Amino acid sequence: PQGSTPEAAREQAARTYELDRKHVFHSWSAQAALKPMVVTAAQGCYLWDGDGNRLLDFSSQMVNTNIGHQHPKVVAAIQAQAAQLCTVAPAHATAARSEAARLIAERTPGDLDRIFFTNGGADAVEHAVRMARLHTGRPKVLARYRSYHGGTDTAVNLTGDPRRWPNDHGTAGIVHFFGPFLYRSRFHASDEAQECERALEHLEQTIIFEGPSTIAAIILESVPGTAGIMVPPPGYLAGVRELCDRYGIVFIADEVMCGFGRTGKWFAIENFAGVVPDLISFAKGVNSGYVPLGGVAISPRIAATFDDRAYPGGLTYSGHPLATAAAAATITAMAEERIVENAAQIGATVLGPGLRELAERHPSIGDVRGLGVFWALELVRDRETREPLAPYGGTSQAMIDTVAAAKAAGLLLFVNFNRLHVVPPCTITEAEAKEGLALLDQALTVADGYLE
């Protein structure tokens, strides 16, 4: 933590808070009531607030610090790159960008081997959609309800969750469909196989009624993240691939949140054997957010569209040296230290069993879903009716108090509506995961208290 003495650190934190409230305009928030936590330092799976309290970070911030906070190899790579070359025009080739592109291309599924770099996830989605439209010459994009694709204009309109609503000006060419989600099935299904079959039938009907010759792309998160970590049933993504092939549609897998180790694989779609999308949008975990970076992995077939015809898009900071140096170091360290394997192992042996055990004792837990270090607890008022503990798109005193109890106990969670997301860094140890589960156990008694 900053400051030479605890008093000096607290004084500095108070000034940070005061200036924030005076001058900083925050995302996705009503400004007046905001009380942002001052964060002064972080290390591994922990961070420290302005009062010097240590918190176990089960949020990975925005589900992006997959390698944990302040990994020394990544910090050193950024420092070395800064000392050598901080910025360069995207038209030039740099060692950092070439290496990062190679390391990503070597890990993408199938033959996706060309990488276009962006500044983050939303612009990765924007460019993936633009590539699909130019490749097919078609205008429309199909996207899931219960999805999040970013905060820029097209990305927020592709988004299916309520963050779209205040931003939706009816962008032409975007059509939403229901994906598989057995716990709240839109298809009256009673098992995964039925949910899968009916969700695919619904998607095909959507394609047919919209007009296949008008549809450029289907975009979906391989495992939807902020919308609730609904792991698709076996066969669903293979079915989407088949529909895309049948109707000449580009398959965009948005792996901004679920990529780079989060699900215990480099890319989440690898959990569904053999499914290869045409484009993958990525960001966050690619360099754990140490420097803003995102991108699109492109199949040779789509890349070839732009062999003799210019790709009409770009960004000043495409392949920024500091960001791509951080990516190369992150991917290298994750491989050397077997961090992706660790995420799979902790998910299978500690988090999955531990969260299911909590569900046996806490009646407020309606559903437990996830894999790797990517889990959601869906909190309900009543297990029979499945009435959520907060309304869709909103919050409730029960959720606010539960999250506050977790924080007071030293645990930081990622929260959305009636869900607690358990999404720690992929580097988390067994002991840290167990510590977090024990703190979560305490906090859930607060949620239980709201049940009649």
Q: Which is nearer to ligand PMP, 252 or 298 (CB)?
A: 252
Q: Which residue carries 């698709």 as its tokens?
A: 232
421 lies in the binding site for ligand PMP (CB under 6 A): no
d(CA 208, CA 353): 42
CB of 219 to ligand PMP, least distance (A): 9
Q: Which is nearer to ligand PMP, 221 or 432 (CB)?
A: 221
Q: Which is nearer to ligand PMP, 4 or 27 (CB)?
A: 27
Range in contact with ligand PMP (rule: CB under 6 A) among 100-108, 145-153, 228-236, 318-326 = 145-153
User: Which of 1, 44, 179, 225: binder of ligand PMP (CB under 6 A)?
Assistant: 225
User: Which of 283, 350, 406, 413: binder of ligand PMP (CB under 6 A)?
Assistant: 283
122 lies in the binding site for ligand PMP (CB under 6 A): yes
Q: Tokens for 39?
A: 């964060």
Residue whose beta carbon is closest to ligand PMP: 121
254 lies in the binding site for ligand PMP (CB under 6 A): yes
257 lies in the binding site for ligand PMP (CB under 6 A): yes
Range in contact with ligand PMP (rule: CB under 6 A) among 53-61, 102-110, 144-152, 426-434 = 144-152
140 lies in the binding site for ligand PMP (CB under 6 A): no
| Window 45 to 104, contacts with ligand PMP (CB under 6 A) | 62
CB of 369 to ligand PMP, least distance (A): 16
256 lies in the binding site for ligand PMP (CB under 6 A): yes
CB of 257 to ligand PMP, least distance (A): 3
Half-sphere exposure of 344 (CA within 13 A, CB side): 15
CB of 46 to ligand PMP, least distance (A): 22
Range in contact with ligand PMP (rule: CB under 6 A) among 34-42, 85-93, 249-257, 339-347 = 249-257
Q: Which is nearer to ligand PMP, 225 or 319 (CB)?
A: 225
HEC string for the chain: CCCCCHHHHHHHHHHHHHHHHHHCCCCCCCCCCCCCCCEEEEEECEEEECCCCEEEECCHHHHCCCCCECCHHHHHHHHHHHHHCCCCCCCCCCHHHHHHHHHHHCCCCCCCCEEEEECCHHHHHHHHHHHHHHHHCCCEEEEECCCCCCCCHHHHHHCCCCCCHHHCCCCCCEEEECCCCHHHCCCCCCCHHHHHHHHHHHHHHHHHHHCHHHEEEEEEECCCCCCCCCCCCCCHHHHHHHHHHHHCCEEEEECCCCCCCCCCCCCHHHHCCCCCCCEEEECHHHCCCCCCCEEEEECHHHHHHHCCCCCCCCCCCCCCHHHHHHHHHHHHHHHHCCHHHHHHHHHHHHHHHHHHHHHHHCCCEEEEEEECCEEEEEEEEECCCCEECCCCCCCCHHHHHHHHHHHHHCEECEEECCEEEECCCCCCCHHHHHHHHHHHHHHHHHHHCCCC
Range in contact with ligand PMP (rule: CB under 6 A) among 251-259, 368-376, 417-425, 437-445 = 251-259
CB of 401 to ligand PMP, least distance (A): 25
The alpha-carbon radius of gyration of the chain (Å, integer) is 22
120 lies in the binding site for ligand PMP (CB under 6 A): yes
Range in contact with ligand PMP (rule: CB under 6 A) among 99-107, 218-226, 272-280, 442-450 = 218-226
User: Which of 121, 285, 366, 372: binder of ligand PMP (CB under 6 A)?
Assistant: 121
| Window 147 to 176, contacts with ligand PMP (CB under 6 A) | 148-151
Number of residues that bind ligand PMP (CB under 6 A): 17
Single-letter code of the amino acid located at 166? P
CB of 39 to ligand PMP, least distance (A): 18
CB of 109 to ligand PMP, least distance (A): 17
d(CA 252, CA 280): 6
Q: Which is nearer to ligand PMP, 66 or 226 (CB)?
A: 226
Q: Which residues bind ligand PMP (CB under 6 A)?
A: 62, 120-122, 125, 148-151, 221, 225-226, 254, 256-257, 283, 294
